[in-house]
Amino acid sequence: MMSSRPEKIESKIMEHELVPKHELLTKEEALKVLRELGVRPEQLPWIRASDPVAKLLGAKPGDIIRIIRKSATSGVSIAYRFVVVG
Amino acid sequence: MAESEKFIKGIKFGILSPEIIRKISVTAVVTPEVYDENGIPIEGGVMDPRLGVIEPGQRCATCGNTLAQCPGHFGHLELAKPVIHIGFVRHIFMLLKATCHSCNRVKIPEEDIIRYRDLYRKLRNRWPQLANSLVEFIRQKASKALECPHCKARQFKIKLEKPATFIEEGGRGKLYPDVIKQWLSNIPNTDLEVLGIDYEVARPEWMIINVLPIPPIAVRPSIVLETGMRAEDDLTHKLVDIIRANEKLKEAINSGAPEIIVEDLWELLQYHVMTYIDNELPGVPVAKRRSGMPLKTIAQRLRGKEGRFRGNLSGKRVDYSARTVISPDPNLDINEVGVPYEVAMTLTVPEYVTPWNIDKMREYVLNGPNKWPGANYVIDPSGRRLDLRYVKDLKALAEGLKPGYIVERHLINGDVVLFNRQPSLHRMSIMAHKVRVLPGKTFRLHLAVCPPYNADFDGDEMNLHVPQTVEARAEAEELLLVMKHILSPRYGGPIIGGIQDYISGGYLLTLKSTILTKEQVSDLLATIDYSGEIPEPAVLSPIEAWTGKQIFSLLIPEDFNFIGETKLSSGNLKCSSEECFWDTLLVVKKGKVLAGVIDKTVIGSQQPKSMFHYLIMEHGVKFGSEFMNKAFKLFLRYIEMAGFTMTLDNIRVSEEALREAEKVVKEAYSEVHKLIEMFRTGQLEPVPGRTLVETLEIRILDALAKARDEAGSAAIKYMSLTNPVYIMARTGARGSNLNITQMSVLLGQQSVRGERIWRGYYGRVLPHFKAGDLSPEARGFVASSFYKGLTPLEVFFHSAGGREGLVDTAVRTSQSGYMQRRLINALLDLYVEYDLTVRSSYGELVQFKYGEDAVDPKKTAFGKAVDVDRIIVKNIGWRMSL
C-alpha cells in the first residue's frame, strides 16, 4: 500500500510500550531542577528539537524535558534532557 | 617569589609560520654533506654544531651550555619550491572546496558570513559542540556553491588525488603547491573564522611548507657503534634525503631545465618531505633503510602502543616495585603476601626519625644494606642521600641519627604493599597486602585470593609496589586491603572464599559420619590456635568423641542462624526438611551446625547468599578474614588427617553401568540413523528459518548431546559419595559431572564452530568413511572414554575440537583486551559526585543517580533496602524449623 501515513504514526509513538513518559517542564520547574542538580542547562544530556518525541511535546531549544522511565534497579527513574537545535 | 609564580591556564596548538621558523632557527642548512673526511660535522649540514651539543664535555656553539643543560636548537632549510604538509591535506582540501578559485573568498554571501560569524562567536565558548556542527554546516554549504557569490565566477570541482595532489577539474588541472599557497594566503581572516580556523595561530598558507624546520640534534642523536662507526638516526637520514632532493631541484630551476624534469624533482621533494613526516601513508611507497627496514619518522615516533603518547606519556615506569613468580602458601593470612628476603632488602620505605622510633632506626642503620632488617639509604636533614653500601662507619652514622633524618629501611613484616596481577580487569586486580618476609624466591599468597586476581601457580608472575608516603600507605590500608574486597561490587557476594581442597575438606569434616577422638580434636583445634573450652562430646561411650560439625561450629558466632540448601542437595540427595536423611540441608542455629554439610554453596567463592556471605554481612570483613584464616586451616588439617586422593579406580564404572550407558548410546545411534533415513527420503520437516541439511544437523546434535548426558548420568548414578572424584564434583570443589562422564563413560560429540566436524572437508573427513556418510562416527562422535582410550579415528576428531578451544582462547584474550581498552578510555574520567550523580570531568551529567538507584551492591542486601527473609532467619531462625 502506498498510503502509509507518517504523521499518524509519529503522533502515536508516545503510546508505545518502549517509549518512556516524557514531560515538558515549565520555566519554574526547569529552574528548580537545574538548581537541585547544580548544573548549567548544557551540562544535561541533550535531545534534538527534531527528535520525534520533542516535536510531539512542542519543545523548543532551551527547554528541558523530564523522562520518567522504568528501571531494572530502582523501579522508576527520572532523567532530564536539554533541548537543542537540530 | 610569589608574584613571579606562573600558572598554565591553557595550551593552544597552532602551525609554525615560515617567519617564526626562520626566527627560531640558529642556522640555515645548506649542504647535504654531514661530516668532513676527519669525521667533524660540517657547518651548514644537518649535524651543524650550532644545533646542539653532541658529546659530553663540549659546550654548545649557540647557547654555551654543556650537554646536560643545552636544550638543542632548531635550524631551517629553505625549499626551492613549496611542498604540501601531508598532515594538513584534509584541511587544505576543505579550504580549496569552500573558497573561490578566482577571488579566494569563502563561497557564502557577505551578509551570511557576518551572521554566521556572530553566531559562531556566541557558540564557541559555551557550546563548543554546536559551534563545531555550525562550522561543518558552513563548510558544506560553501563547498556546494556553483557560482561565487562575491565575484560571480563559475566554480570548478576540486579533486584530491591521494596522497597530496589536487586537481581542478575543468579549470587549471593540477594545482601546484605554489599556486595553492597563493590561493590560501589570499583568503581573508573574516572568511577563515566562519570556516572554523583560528587565523591568529594557523593561517592556511602555513600548511604549505617552504621553510622546513631542522630539529635539534638532541631529537635525533647519532650512535657510535663498537667498531667506531657512526650510525645516524632515521630522521637525520631523511633530512639528508630532503636536502639532496632540494639541491637537485634548485640546480634544475637555475639551469633552466625543461619543465618535466623540474616537475619530477619537485615531486621527489614532495615525497621526501611527506615520508619525513609520516612513513606509513596509504598509497605512498615506504622509505627504507639500506637494510630494508622501514624508517621511523616523526609520526611513527608518536603513534601506536610504543609511541610517545601511549608508551611514554600515559604509560610510565615506576621505582619501588618488584616482580616474580607466585606460589601458594596456605599458612599465610589472607591479607598477607610472602616476600623473599632479596626483594625485602632491595625495596625500601622512607621513615622519618622521631624520638619514638630512633632506637629502631639506629638498629636498621647498624644492620646496613646487607642484613635484614636493615636500611639502604639515610637522608640527612640537608637532603643529602647517603648510600649505606659505601658508608665506612655505620656505627657512627647510627649514633648520629636524630629527628629530621630519614631512613630508607628495608621492607619489614606488616608493611603495606600493593600487589597486582595483569590483566588488571577490575579493581580487585590490585589489592593491598601486609608483607611477610620469607625465605625463597617467590611471592607467596593465600589460595583464597586467587579468584580475584584470577591467578594460578603454573608460572604466573605478579607485581608488588611499595607506597612511599604515609598518606599512600593509609589509603592502601583503608581502601585496598584484601579484606575490604572480599565482597565484589559486581554481584555483591564474596569473590574471596573457599576453593578446591577447602571445599572438599569442609565437606569431609562436617560429614555425618565424621567422628573425632580427643586427640584428633586437640590436633585440629591446635592448628587454629583455639583457646576456648572444648565443647561437650557428642559421643560419651565407649570413648568420648566429637563430630566434625561440633568443631566447625566453634568458629561461628553464637548469635548466628542460617538455613539453606547445600550444593549436594539436588537430584537423589535433595533435602528440604531438617529431618532429611541425606543431611544436605544446612541448618545453623545459635552458631551451631545442627544438620547439613559444608560445600561450595556454603563457603565457596563467587557464591552470593551463602552462609559465608551472611557471616560477612553481619559480622564484618575483619571477622570474615579471620574466619577464613581459621576455617580453611581447619579444613586443610582435617583433609590431611582423613587423606584424600583419587586413583584410576575412582573413574572406573561397573560393567553394569557401562552396559546401561551403551544402551543409551545405541538408542541414540538408531535415532540418528532414522533421522538420516527421513532426510534421504524427504520426510524430514525443516525447522523454520533453516535449510533441510541444517535441520538434520541440529536434530542429530541434539540427539547425541542428550545421549551423552543420559549415558553419563546412567553411569554416575552408580557412584557413591565415598568416591573422591564424585565428592569433588558433587561438592563443587573441582570438576563437574560432564568431566566425570568424559573420563569414565564417553566423550560425546566433538565440534568445530558448534557443528559436527565436516567444515573444510569434501564429502568425508577421513578416507575410512564413505563419501557423504552422515553417521555419528563419521562426523566426530567419540563413544570411548578417557578411561577406555580413544580409537585412532576418535583421537583425530578429539584433537580437532581441542585445537579450536586453543585458538578460541588466543583470539578471545586479544579481542577482549582491546575492548577493555576502549571501554576504559571512554569511562575513566567519570566519577560519582557527592549528590550521587555520575558526572564527567567537565561536570556534565551522565547518570542522574548512580546506577539509577544510588546503591552500592557491596553494602546492600541484593539491591533492596531490607532483606526481610534474612532478618527473620537471623533473629528467630533458632526456633524455626523447616
- How far does A81 lie from chain B, in Å, by closest CA? 10
Q: Which residue has the higher pLDDT, B125 or B771?
A: B771
What secondary structure letter does DSSP report for B798? H
CB atoms within 10 A of CB B547: 21
Average of per-residue pLDDT across B700-708: 90
Q: Which residues span the domain enclosing A48?
A: 6-84
Phi and psi of B50, rounded to 5°?
A: -70, -10
Nearest to A78 among B835, B844, B848 (CB): B848
Interface membership of A58 toward B (CB under 8 Å): no
B135: which 3 cell numbers? Answer: 562550522
pLDDT of residue B775: 87
For the purposes of burial, counting CB atoms within 10 Å of the CB of B35, is it exposed (0-12), middle (13-18) or buried (19 or more)?
middle
Residues of B with CB below 8 A from A84's CB?
Answer: 130
Nearest to A74 among B133, B843, B852 (CB): B852
* 3-class secondary-structure state, position B204: helix
Interface membership of A84 toward B (CB under 8 Å): yes
**Helices and strands (H, E) in chain A, number of each type:** 3, 4
Do A79 and B127 lie within an 8 Å CB cutoff? no
Distance CA B830, CA B479 (A): 19
- How far does A45 lie from chain B, in Å, by closest CA? 7
Interface membership of B843 toward A (CB under 8 Å): yes
* 3-class secondary-structure state, position B183: helix
E strands, B482-584, where?
A: 515-516, 546-547, 562-565
Say if CB A85 and CB B130 are below 8 A apart: yes
Interface membership of A43 toward B (CB under 8 Å): yes
- Tell me the pLDDT band of B184, cut-offs 50, 70 and 90: very high
Nearest to A77 among B126, B845, B849 (CB): B849
Say if CB B877 and CB B561 are below 8 A apart: yes
Do B853 and A44 lie within an 8 Å CB cutoff? no
Nearest to B845 among A39, A84, A86 (CB): A39
Distance CA B434, CA A63 (A): 55
Listed residue (B217, B178, B177, B229) closest to B29, CA to CA: B217
Interface membership of A82 toward B (CB under 8 Å): no
pLDDT tens digits for B793-848? 999 999 998 999 899 888 888 888 888 889 988 999 999 999 999 999 888 899 99
The answer as to whether A38 is a domain residue is: yes
pLDDT tens digits for B460-476? 999 999 999 999 999 99
Distance CA B49, CA B67 (A): 12
Report whether the peptide linkage leading into residue B328 is cis, meaning its omega lies within 30 degrees of zero. Answer: no
Q: Where do the H-state alpha helices sit in B682-789?
A: 692-716, 724-731, 737-744
pLDDT of residue A6: 56
Residue B128: closest CA among chain A residues belongs to which residue?
A42
Interface membership of A14 toward B (CB under 8 Å): no
Interface membership of A78 toward B (CB under 8 Å): yes
Distance CA B510, CA B30 (A): 89
CB atoms within 10 A of CB B730: 27
Nearest to B845 among A44, A71, A77 (CB): A44
Average of per-residue pLDDT across B560-578: 82
Cα–Cα distances in Å, from B449 out to B419, B444, B475? 11, 11, 20
pLDDT above 80 for B695: yes
Distance CA B302, CA B668 (A): 62
Nearest to B855 among A39, A42, A73 (CB): A73
Owner of C-alpha cell 580549496: B96
Q: What percentage of chain B exceeds 90 in pLDDT?
A: 46
pLDDT of residue B1: 52
Cα–Cα distances in Å, from A31 out to A37, A38, A78, B35? 10, 10, 16, 73
* 3-class secondary-structure state, position B188: coil
Interface membership of A50 toward B (CB under 8 Å): no
Nearest to B863 among A38, A45, A73 (CB): A73
Distance CA B221, CA B219 (A): 6
For the purposes of burial, counting CB atoms within 10 Å of the CB of B866, is it exposed (0-12), middle (13-18) or buried (19 or more)?
exposed
pLDDT of residue B48: 87
Do A71 and B853 lie within an 8 Å CB cutoff? yes
Interface membership of A38 toward B (CB under 8 Å): yes
Q: Where do the H-state alpha helices sit in B127-258?
A: 128-144, 177-186, 189-194, 234-254
pLDDT tens digits for B381-398? 998 999 999 988 898 898
Cα–Cα distances in Å, from B602 out to A5, B410, B564, B612? 61, 41, 8, 6
Do B853 and A73 lie within an 8 Å CB cutoff? yes
Distance CA B568, CA B729 (A): 10
pLDDT of residue B865: 66
- Tell me the pLDDT band of B2, cut-offs 50, 70 and 90: low
Residues 388-417 of B with CB under 8 A from A: none
Do A80 and B848 lie within an 8 Å CB cutoff? yes
The answer as to whether A33 is a domain residue is: yes
Distance CA B452, CA B606 (A): 10
Distance CA B514, CA B583 (A): 13
Q: How long a stretch of residues is chain A?
A: 86
Distance CA B530, CA B548 (A): 15
B176-200: buried (b, 16+ CB within 10 Å) or exposed (e) per residue?
bbebbbebbeebeeebbbbbbbeee
pLDDT above 60 for A5: no
Into how many domains does chain A fold? 1
Listed residue (A31, A19, A1, A2) closest to A56, CA to CA: A19
Percent of residues in chain A assigned helix, strand, coil, to nearest 5: 35, 30, 35
**What DSSP string runs through B12-38?**
------HHHHHHH-S-B---S--B-TT
- Tell me the pLDDT band of B767, cut-offs 50, 70 and 90: very high
Listed residue (B36, B37, B42, B66) closest to B54, CA to CA: B66
Listed residue (A25, A36, A15) closest to A81, CA to CA: A25
Distance CA B785, CA B154 (A): 83
Say if CB B403 and CB B362 are below 8 A apart: no
Instruction: Give the ipTM of the model, two decimals please.
Output: 0.88
The answer as to whether A1 is a domain residue is: no
Residue A34: closest CA among chain B residues belongs to which residue?
B845
Say if CB B438 and CB B340 are below 8 A apart: yes
Do A77 and B127 lie within an 8 Å CB cutoff? no
Interface membership of B130 toward A (CB under 8 Å): yes
Listed residue (B565, B571, B510, B502) closest to B716, CA to CA: B571
Do A78 and B842 lie within an 8 Å CB cutoff? no
pLDDT tens digits for B496-529? 988 899 999 999 999 888 899 999 999 999 999 8
Listed residue (A57, A50, A52) closest to A6, CA to CA: A52
Residue A71: closest CA among chain B residues belongs to which residue?
B852
Who's near B433: CB < 8 A, 6+ residues apart?
B335, B336, B337, B416, B417, B418, B419, B445, B481, B482
Owner of C-alpha cell 616495585: B321
* 3-class secondary-structure state, position B833: coil
Distance CA B498, CA B476 (A): 25
Distance CA B277, CA B235 (A): 9
pLDDT tens digits for B345-385? 999 999 999 999 999 999 999 998 999 899 999 999 998 99
The answer as to whether A54 is a domain residue is: yes
pLDDT of residue B319: 93
* 3-class secondary-structure state, position B266: helix
The answer as to whether A27 is a domain residue is: yes
The answer as to whether A30 is a domain residue is: yes
pLDDT of residue B377: 93
Residue A69: closest CA among chain B residues belongs to which residue?
B852
pLDDT of residue B851: 85
Q: Which domains does chain B have, with CATH numbers?
A: 27-73+215-304 (4.10.860.120), 87-206 (no CATH), 321-485 (2.40.40.20), 501-642 (1.10.274.100), 648-792 (1.10.132.30)
Listed residue (B609, B636, B617, B610) closest to B448, CA to CA: B636
Compute the Cα dihedral for B861, B863, B865, B867 and give only its sign: negative
Pairing of strands B321-328, B443-445: parallel
For helices B868-876 and B611-642, the axis angle rounded to 10 degrees is: 60
Q: Looking at residue A64, which CATH number applies to its domain? A: 3.90.940.20
pLDDT of residue B721: 86
Best interface-test mutation with A: which of B125, B136, B853, B855 has the largest number of A CBs within 10 A? B853
Average of per-residue pLDDT across B239-251: 92
- How far does B820 lie from chain A, in Å, by closest CA? 24
Average of per-residue pLDDT across B141-164: 87
Interface membership of A85 toward B (CB under 8 Å): yes
- How far does A8 lie from chain B, in Å, by closest CA? 31
- How far does B862 lie from chain A, in Å, by closest CA? 10
Q: Where do the H-state alpha helices sit in B528-654?
A: 548-553, 600-603, 611-642
B743: which 3 cell numbers? Answer: 573420563
- CA B454 from centre of chain: 13
Nearest to A43 among B844, B855, B863 (CB): B844
Do B842 and A84 lie within an 8 Å CB cutoff? no
Interface membership of B855 toward A (CB under 8 Å): yes
Percent of residues in chain B assigned helix, strand, coil, to nearest 5: 40, 15, 40
B795: which 3 cell numbers? Answer: 583421537
Distance CA B208, CA B266 (A): 14
pLDDT tens digits for B336-349? 999 999 999 999 99
Inter-chain contacts counted by CB atoms under 8 A, chains A and B: 42
pLDDT tens digits for A13-37? 888 889 999 999 999 999 999 998 9
pLDDT above 80 for B696: yes
Say if CB B354 and CB B405 are below 8 A apart: no
Nearest to A38 among B130, B835, B855 (CB): B835
Phi and psi of B613, rounded to 5°?
A: -60, -45
